[in-house]
């Protein structure tokens, strides 16, 4: 591959010399100058910042000097090949259908935005490969690095691209939306979607300040996105910034709420706000769908955490998500009839299974409630409860997860709660998430209502941690 690329550049040098009246060197096929390569480039347009000339260039012939000029003449089924160098563009890029824009590293595309801008729009069956892209703005204007419209997340591909978005110098007083990659097209959620990676072997870095939303990848349409080997970093803003800083978000604004992203072998990280800072940050954020019908991998829309994916700060914006990796499971159980007397209707469960026993299990000690200590940062992602015998009409079993943050002594309620009432024997809650730090204590609190009429028997509680 590289020998032919260097041959192209050498041929371009020879043509430059020949046009100045110099004698050409011998080509690869034995003829003088570039003639030995005549026709060998076919549907390839070369771009060379050193030897290119937009006036004399053509597809299959001499190299262009600028990427914009090559794009102005390229047609479907052709390729633009860009030689090493830094290319500052004065206009945005729209890739035509079935066109490849490929660089030879080190190859950088630079753009300075003075107004709201989408730098590069993917075309159907197009590909962007082997570039560093640096987009800068000194004021608060809305920026999108790469846009996947229509059905391009299922047909087009970004590979080996290192994308940096930077408007830090705009300061903290303004508002701007900065999106690395925005996927706002259409599509269906299919189990086979993982076979096509729209974004692969790439990095996305967002550096911004002030208000607005800052996203590495945003899925704002009904399309399904699949990524592999892609690392995303959202830098922390200045102290007084108040925006929302998120690695990956799904927020399908349509009534369908089927927008989905599948993340594999990737790292996603943000910088969490410290005391006194008002901006929000999370590695992932599943804004839609708000309700998870099934947390099983590939079964629901939204964010799908696939094999080998690391959430650096273990944060999900308190919202739910689905994961391929079977979570760490904490199981609690009470064996026997749960109601025993009117003085023992509330208490905490111990990790593991215990026999129902007055004043012991559930444990009514509220001064030192039973707990499970978190050993490393984790996300509480699910709660489920099940009974062998339902409570009966007018009676219920209420299960609530509480936690005590490190350094505190009073348990706090969480949104993780389920109620088993009447004839209901099973219930679960996966629509939210809770970030837990090393040293935090997790408690499972139980309430029994209905008195002697409550027939609830043999309780199992499961907590899922990612």
Work out how many domains the chain is built from and give that number.
Answer: 2
Determine, yes or no, domain membership for 180.
yes
Alpha carbons 365 and 4: distance in angstroms, whole number: 77
83 neighbors 104 (Cβ within 8 angstroms):
yes
Q: What are the tokens at 435?
A: 């970030």
Report the pLDDT value the prediction gives residue 431, as an integer from 0 to 100: 95
Determine, yes or no, domain membership for 292.
yes
Report the pLDDT value the prediction gives residue 10, as an integer from 0 to 100: 55
Determine, yes or no, domain membership for 67.
no
Output the CA torsion 411→368→448→414 (10° steps).
10
Report the pLDDT value the prediction gives residue 1, as an integer from 0 to 100: 43
Q: Tell whether 319 and 343 lie within a shared domain.
A: no
- Given a cut of 50, whether residue 16 has pLDDT beyond it is no
Domain of 427 in residue numbering reads as: 328-465
pLDDT mean over 277-304: 91
Res. 132 pLDDT band, cuts 50 70 90:
very high
pLDDT mean over 224-248: 96
% of the chain surpassing 70 pLDDT: 90
- Given a cut of 50, whether residue 219 has pLDDT beyond it is yes
Sequence-distant (≥ 6) Cβ neighbours of residue 73 within 8 angstroms: 45, 58, 59
Determine, yes or no, domain membership for 365.
yes
262 neighbors 298 (Cβ within 8 angstroms):
yes
Return the half-sphere exposure (C-beta side, CA atoms, 13 A cut-off) of residue 358. 4
Q: Tell whether 222 and 281 lie within a shared domain.
A: yes
- Given a cut of 80, whether residue 153 has pLDDT beyond it is yes
- Given a cut of 70, whether residue 173 has pLDDT beyond it is yes
Sequence-distant (≥ 6) Cβ neighbours of residue 426 within 8 angstroms: 384, 385, 386, 387, 420
Determine, yes or no, domain membership for 16.
no
- Given a cut of 80, whether residue 247 has pLDDT beyond it is yes
Alpha carbons 185 and 166: distance in angstroms, whole number: 25
Alpha carbons 190 and 108: distance in angstroms, whole number: 35
What is the distance, to the nearest Å, from the Cα of residue 373 to the centroid of all Cα atoms in its chain?
29
Determine, yes or no, domain membership for 391.
yes
Q: Which of 323, 353, 378 is the last residue of a domain?
A: 323
* Mean pLDDT score of the chain: 91
Three-class secondary structure assignment of the chain = CHHHHHHHHHHHHHHHHHHCCCCCCECCCCCEHHHHHCCCCCCEEEECCCCCCCCCCCCCCCCECCHHHHHHHCCCCCEEEECCEEEEECCCEECCCCCEEEECCCEEEEEECCCCEEEEECCCCCEEEEEEEEEECCCCCCEEEEEECCCHHHCCEEEEEEEEEECHHHCCCCECCEEEEEECCCCCCCHHHHHCCCEEEEEEEEECCCECEEEEEEECCCCEEEEEEEEEEECCCCCCCCCEEEEEEECCCCCCCCCEEEEECCEEEECCCCCCCCCEEEEEEECCCCCCCCCCCCCCCEEEECCCCEECCCCCCCECCEECCCCEEEEEEEEEECCCCCCCCEEECCEEEEECECCCECECCCCCCCCEECCCCEEEEEEEEEEEECCEEEEEEEEEEEEECCCCCCCEEEEEEEEEEECCCEEEECCECEEECCCCEEEEEEEEECHHHCCCEEEEEEEEEC
Tell me: the pLDDT tens digits for 326-358?
789 999 999 999 999 999 999 999 999 999 999
Q: Which of 302, 323, 344 is the last residue of a domain?
A: 323
What is the distance, to the nearest Å, from the Cα of residue 459 to the centroid of all Cα atoms in its chain?
37
Tell me: the pLDDT tens digits for 32-88?
333 334 445 899 999 999 999 999 999 999 999 999 999 999 999 999 999 999 999
Q: What are the tokens at 275?
A: 């005391």
Report the pLDDT value the prediction gives residue 372, as an integer from 0 to 100: 97
Among 64, 21, 18, which residue's Cα sits nearest to residue 41?
Answer: 64
Alpha carbons 121 and 185: distance in angstroms, whole number: 12
What pTM does this model have? 0.87
Among 249, 220, 247, 213, which residue's Cα sits nearest to residue 232?
Answer: 247
Q: Tell whether 345 and 314 lie within a shared domain.
A: no
Determine, yes or no, domain membership for 107.
no
Q: What are the tokens at 273?
A: 């706000």
Report the pLDDT value the prediction gives residue 13, as an integer from 0 to 100: 53
Q: Which of 323, 356, 385 is the last residue of a domain?
A: 323
Alpha carbons 319 and 288: distance in angstroms, whole number: 9
Report the pLDDT value the prediction gives residue 12, as an integer from 0 to 100: 52
- Given a cut of 80, whether residue 452 has pLDDT beyond it is yes
Determine, yes or no, domain membership for 223.
yes
Alpha carbons 241 and 151: distance in angstroms, whole number: 35
- Given a cut of 50, whether residue 19 has pLDDT beyond it is no
Q: Tell whether 369 and 385 lie within a shared domain.
A: yes
- Given a cut of 80, whether residue 25 has pLDDT beyond it is no
**CATH number, domain with residue 347:** 2.60.120
Q: Tell whether 292 and 207 lie within a shared domain.
A: yes
Alpha carbons 103 and 81: distance in angstroms, whole number: 6
């Amino acid at each position: 591959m590289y020998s032919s690329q260097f041959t192209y550049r050498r041929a371009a040098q020879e043509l430059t010399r020949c046009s100045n009246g110099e004698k050409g060197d011998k080509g690869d096929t034995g003829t003088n100058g570039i003639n030995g390569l005549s026709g060998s480039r076919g549907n390839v347009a070369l771009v060379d910042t050193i030897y290119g000339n937009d006036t004399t260039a053509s597809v299959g012939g001499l190299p262009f000097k600028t990427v914009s000029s090559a794009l102005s003449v390229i047609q479907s089924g052709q390729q633009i090949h860009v030689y090493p160098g830094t290319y500052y563009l004065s206009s945005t890029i729209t890739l035509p259908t079935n066109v490849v824009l490929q660089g030879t590293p080190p190859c950088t595309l630079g753009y300075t935005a003075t107004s709201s801008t989408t730098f590069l729009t993917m075309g159907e069956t197009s590909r962007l490969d082997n570039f560093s892209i640096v987009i800068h703005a000194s004021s608060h204007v809305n920026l999108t690095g790469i846009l996947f419209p229509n059905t391009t997340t299922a047909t087009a591909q970004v590979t080996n691209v290192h994308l940096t978005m930077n408007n830090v110098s705009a300061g903290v007083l303004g508002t701007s939306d900065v999106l690395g990659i925005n996927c706002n097209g259409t599509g269906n959620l299919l189990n086979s979607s993982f076979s096509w990676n729209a974004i692969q072997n790439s990095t996305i870095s967002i550096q911004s300040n002030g208000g607005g939303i800052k996203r590495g990848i945003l899925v704002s349409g009904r399309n399904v996105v699949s990524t592999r080997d892609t690392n995303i970093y959202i830098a922390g803003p200045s102290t007084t910034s108040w925006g929302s800083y998120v690695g990956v978000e799904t927020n399908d604004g349509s009534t369908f709420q089927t927008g989905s992203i599948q993340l594999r072998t990737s790292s996603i990280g943000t910088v969490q706000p410290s005391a006194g800072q008002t901006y929000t940050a999370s590695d992932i954020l599943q804004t839609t769908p708000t309700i998870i019908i099934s947390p099983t991998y590939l079964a629901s829309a939204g964010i799908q955490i696939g094999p080998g994916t690391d959430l650096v700060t273990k944060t999900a914006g308190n919202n739910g998500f689905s994961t391929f990796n079977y979570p760490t499971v904490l199981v609690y159980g009470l064996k026997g009839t749960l109601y025993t007397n009117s003085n023992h209707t509330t208490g905490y469960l111990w990790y593991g299974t215990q026999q129902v026993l007055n004043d012991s299990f559930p444990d009514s000690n509220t001064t030192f409630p039973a707990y499970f200590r978190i050993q490393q940062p984790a996300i509480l992602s699910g709660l489920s409860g099940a009974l062998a015998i339902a409570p009966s009409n007018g009676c219920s079993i209420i299960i609530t997860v509480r936690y005590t943050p490190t350094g505190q002594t009073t348990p706090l309620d969480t949104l993780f709660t389920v109620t088993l009432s009447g004839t209901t024997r099973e219930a679960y809650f996966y629509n939210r998430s809770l970030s837990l730090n090393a040293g935090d204590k997790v408690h499972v609190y139980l309430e029994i209502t209905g008195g002697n009429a409550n027939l609830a028997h043999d309780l199992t509680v499961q907590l899922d941690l990612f």
